[in-house]
Amino acid sequence: MEADGSGALKTDLQGIPQIDSARCTGCGRCVAACPEKIITLDVSGYRKHAAIRDTERCSLCGSCVKNCLVRAMT
């Protein structure tokens, strides 16, 4: 952890949502819910699954987690 000068502490793990690609059905609800538009659907073989691009832009709002019906986002 380190201070950024504002008195707040930063951690290495800033709560960025994690995706369990084995559980992800590729429905796209998280993609539609993300206000920063940093989630995409990747194709792996013949399956689609969510992937977060540019994690630094994540606002940590939790919309993707709330909209995931199969709990692939935590």
Separation between Cα atoms, residue 53 and residue 55, nearest integer Å: 6
Give residue-wise pLDDT tens across range 14-27. Answer: 688 999 989 999 99
pLDDT value for 61:
93
Stretch (H or E) spanning 47: strand 47-52
Residue 10, amino acid: K
Alpha-carbon gap, residue 63 to 74, rounded angstroms: 11
Length of the chain: 74
Count of domains observed in the chain: 1
Is pLDDT of 63 > 90?
yes
Identify the pLDDT of residue 44.
Answer: 86
Does 30 map to a domain? Answer: yes
Give yes or no for residue 6 having a pLDDT over 70.
Answer: no
- CATH code at position 69: 3.30.70.20
Domain coverage including residue 38: 17-74
